[in-house]
Structure 1
């Protein structure tokens, strides 16, 4: 049976091993790792091209697989170096590969090991101890020189947003809409209210992420990198600092909420946060903002809540989109939220019983009325004509001749268990 093979090396680790191979042409360890990686890539390319007539390509794939098996075993796959430690993260044999929503390698089911020890474990050929010692030193030098994490602020944020300070114009960093020189006048908001975590090599960067320091905690926004593997290194850094980070690193559309992992439960679960930042001044220009893009021009705040702003900070030319929004007030708690005039804020409802709008926290479903009522409305349980128990507002049944109270229990007068004795409703006696 033909199956797709798991990849061997991440882009970042392959780059490191390529550098070793270039600087040390006699390093056969690097040579065999790169050859095995090339063969797996070629094998998977053929797998992706398989159509109805498979025989020719399957025979070639068999030859490639056999060659791969002379170079490496299957004890580990999906190798990626950890930026904050001299270790390699890998997927052990028998563990399922997990991918994120952006198709990068997930963190679940992975383990870590020292580079030389892990590579010695997966290579078929036996190398001398001195060869692994040299390889270990070379890979350590490459990993150390790959970059360091630095938290910058003020004008340095504008500096490192500029593409002139990128190591390469590739990946999400190289495609960033805010990388151009003409955007430099848009970043005063960030300079005043945020910091920037960068992965820095010399005076250029491999990746960046805006960091917000708030009363609710520190929140690392969307990560932009030259190489996919660096996303996990940014997350490692955030976890070591006890920061929050986004569950999804993909592009956020207008109207979407963001979900965050946090240190409260040791990053095992995620949740939404309703976060708002009060700005100190008004800005003529605003940058494209990933998570805090909902701008309330009147209160001069930015928020993660789509219904706490009348503008969207999702333009790339420094302007912001003003929307014609309606403001809704909850009849129960008095909270307000905004939405376009043809829709309600998410989670809000209109209640005919309350004759007004209710927010998500104040609305409860009343099955007797088949609509939502306020959580503060006093309710009673009524046994209806089908002898089902349903909830009604107490004032509704008190003023309605279709209901009666026998003892402490309310009933529908049409209930089979109830009868009228000429003066009042009573329960029927068992025959």
Structure 2
């Protein structure tokens, strides 16, 4: 493994952490290159590492249960305040080394400037407006109650760096706590693996025998040797809330919430982030599974409620129309084909119009209002996200059919 850094103080804790995880049975490919530049880490793979080849594997012993540690700030440096007695000594050592890295790279200070949800403390009115992009956005307010800004930022910082591990790790002695009995995912910090960045076209985290958590060589950007992993199914707005930066590569836009009124029937579109799993899909719907929302029929109100809708790009040009047609058929199986087509086209137009209007109005508002102190980077990121979403909506394959200017 080769380590390149523009900060001398980063090298010692980083190499110590590499040694520690390998002592605990983890794996780092000997040819991998890990680079630190301008406070950011990235993982690179030379041509000697084949596509899909294992880069890093962490044993359960090296996955550090976040909730077993309590953190604090000491002059903007993250420190361990206390930890559960049942943690292994090497797990505490690994966490201490991770904190040395975070502190040397000023990660908490960076996060403080980009945490979108920290607007609750800095510019509540602005956050209220942003939460309109997501139907469950204001449920986040519960996280702020009785919590200071720094306490929130610490928790938000680690939330952007942890992974919920799968059930097969629960039998490991390092995860023997109450959550195991509830079969709930355990949020863990991932030493070294934490360095790999997100790209929506890359491979995901994998679970291999051992059990081990593994990332493999995935280089989705042409003529670039940086390796990525997909953090989750996010569009630009989702990434802004979860990780504090604009993501330009997503293949869809998650629609803002809206209601589509057909007179006697209604579609309510939510914008939930909750994953939806569909069992026993009919053959004609199987290639639509990713785009299908949770569909709730309310016959007494003649309403169909959709958990979310995606505005796709050229890779799935007809997905939105097919989802709308399927949802309408669930509401009323007796709708004539011609009426269904007209209703789908009306709904499509209103969805495109509502999303374009929201993001254009957001840009106008930001151009006119004064930026609150300490929110400069957040505002800049929101402007970038709004422009990304507008461009993707205009790239919707049937955009011209909607006659939206």
Instruction: Quickly name the TM-score band, shorter chain normalised.
Output: under 0.3
Would you tell me which structure has more helix in proportion to its own residues?
A: 2
Would you tell me which structure has more strand in proportion to its own residues?
A: 1
Relative contact order higher in (CA < 8 Å, ≥ 6 apart): 2
Larger Rg: 1
Give the alignment's TM-score, normalised by structure 2: 0.26
Give the alignment's TM-score, normalised by structure 1: 0.25
